[in-house]
Amino acid sequence: SNTKRNPELSYYQIPTDKKLRKMWLHWIGRANFTPNNHHRVCSKHFVGGKKTCLHNVPTIVQKLLLPTKPKPRTTSKCRNRDITIEESPEIEDEPTSEDRILELEELVENLQQKDQEQQEKISDLKGKVEHTFKAFYDYLCPACERLQYIGSWNTTKPTENREKCGPRRTLSPEEELFLCLVRFRLGLLERDLANRFNISESHVSRIWVTWLDFLYRRLRSIPIWPSQSYVRETSPPSFKESYPNTRVIIDCTELFIETPSQPRSQSATFSTYKNHNTGKGLIGIAPRGYLTFVSELYAGNTSDKQLTNDCGILKLLEPGDEVMADRGFEIENDLPPGVSLNIPPFLGEQAQFSKEDEIKTRRIAKHRIHVERAIQRIKSFQLPRACFWMDTNQMTRTCHFFLLQYLKFYAPLS
């Protein structure tokens, strides 16, 4: 066939892959033929009249349709003609595309195995999330069973039974806790949550305010400052080698707030670092990677030095302890007796750092990575990343909530 005589046909180049080329040549009856880049196979040799993914090997061999009455030749032409006899290679009766089928079966088997492994990982991760939520709820359960909505006690009847105050619960305590966690994690609006949980916006607000207050009071009582001996025992080898007496790694984090209406409050909360009004808090991380200290929330304009002195962490330190921090924490003179500070060296009047100072800077930065990862983990919660519309007390409770629950019910970072 050719393009001019049969324009309806398509022509396909013989593949370069040795295995596939051998199959093509076999099925078109050219087993000993050596094709070049110009040789083509027409679409008549393919099932369906064209090459497809399922039929990518030419398996149809056309029979030559010879005329019943051959055209007579002249005697001279027949006499001078060289007669050559070419044996047609025998075509073995093999299953269609057997090698390709085996290859696809192997591919399917590998994909099924990978899919099973992924399903096991997903199941394992789901189990961890459910276990974390269940452990958190079980810790809160004894107190939250009789939790009453804030405002339910505002009554003018002193003889009214407080156990029956407020509206009937639409959601169970477990569902209400889940609603709050969803809002903390995703930062959803009350209208969105109302649609998701099939309740009114006012009821979402009531649940939110009540649980916010309850979680703050409940979680604030958890003792999270470990003993000196425990911190040293659980420190990773890198700390034991370079900074064996490190008790805590400290850093500050800021949360955006709405611009206050009072000029004085605007000035106090404006952070030049963030170029926004913020609330600022200090957190402490043990060398092992777990949270050990959470401060109250201060105005964003508060310096690291002032916040460290006011938050109460210095009172918890003991002789022999070391504190690791960034350059902004110039608190060496404020530390209790016997406590030392590890911060990166200052350049001062030097043109550049000495080799020893460079090594110390890199070493401290490497070991401070835990506190930076902790802050990033905190900020993975969408609500704290948004502008807070709440007053200072509510915001402080919020800060304590997501930091403390993060500490107790999440795995260490190292």
Give the residue among 169, 248, 173 at the shortest CA–CA distance from 215: 173
3-state helix, strand, coil in the chain (%, to 5): 45, 10, 45
Q: Which residues 6+ apart lie within 8 Å of 40 measured at CB? A: 11, 12, 13, 14
DSSP label at residue 371: H
Share of the chain above pLDDT 90, in %: 15
Average pLDDT score over the chain: 76
Q: Are 375 and 191 in contact (CB under 8 A)?
A: no
By DSSP bridging, strand 276-285 and strand 298-299 are antiparallel
Contact 268, 256 (CB under 8 A): no
User: Could you tell me what percent of the chain has a pLDDT over 70?
Assistant: 70
Among 63-67, 265-269, 309-313, 403-407, the minimum mean pLDDT is found in: 63-67
Residue 229: pLDDT over 90: yes
Q: Is the pLDDT of residue 390 over 50?
A: no
Place of tokens 């000495």: 354
The dihedral over CA atoms of 201, 207, 210, 216, expressed in degrees to the nearest 10, equals: -110
How many Å apart are CA 398 and CA 406, to the nearest integer? Answer: 12
- Residue 283 pLDDT greater than 70, yes or no: yes
* Tens digit of each residue's pLDDT (9 = 90 or more) over 109-128: 888 888 888 877 776 666 66
Name the band, by pLDDT with cuts 50, 70 and 90, for residue 79: low
The angle formed by the CA atoms of residues 55, 60 and 65, to the nearest 5 degrees, is: 155
User: In the chain, what are the domains?
Assistant: 1-63 (no CATH), 118-152+169-221+394-413 (no CATH), 224-346+354-380 (3.30.420)
Instruction: Kindly indicate the confidence band of residue 84, based on its pLDDT and cuts at 50, 70 and 90.
Output: low
Question: Is 305 or 364 the better-scoring residue by pLDDT?
Answer: 305
Mean pLDDT for the stretch of residues 193-213:
90
Q: How do residues 285-310 score in pLDDT, each as one tens digit?
A: 898 888 888 888 888 888 999 999 99
- Digit-coded pLDDT (tens) for 312-361: 999 999 999 999 988 888 898 999 999 999 888 777 666 677 777 788 77
Helix 201-220 and helix 98-144: axis angle, to 10°?
Answer: 80
Token pair of 367 as six digits: 């070991």
Task: Choose from 18-22, 253-257, 307-311 the range with maximum mean pLDDT.
Answer: 307-311
pLDDT surpassing 80 at residue 205: yes
Question: Which whole-number Å values give the CA distances from 400 to 208, 247, 281, in the listed order?
Answer: 15, 21, 10
Question: Which of 48-52, 109-113, 146-150: highest mean pLDDT?
Answer: 109-113
33-42, 384-393, 405-414, range with greatest mean pLDDT: 33-42
Q: 357 or 240: whose pLDDT is higher?
A: 240
d(CA 311, CA 329): 14
Q: Provide the residue count of the chain.
A: 414
3-state SS class at 52? coil
DSSP for 72-124, please give it. P--HHHHHHPPP---PPPPPP---TTHHHHHHHHHHHHHHHHHHHHHHHHHHH
324, two tokens: 């690791």
Give yes or no for residue 65 having a pLDDT over 50: no
* Contact status, residue 295 vs residue 313, Cβ threshold 8 Å: yes
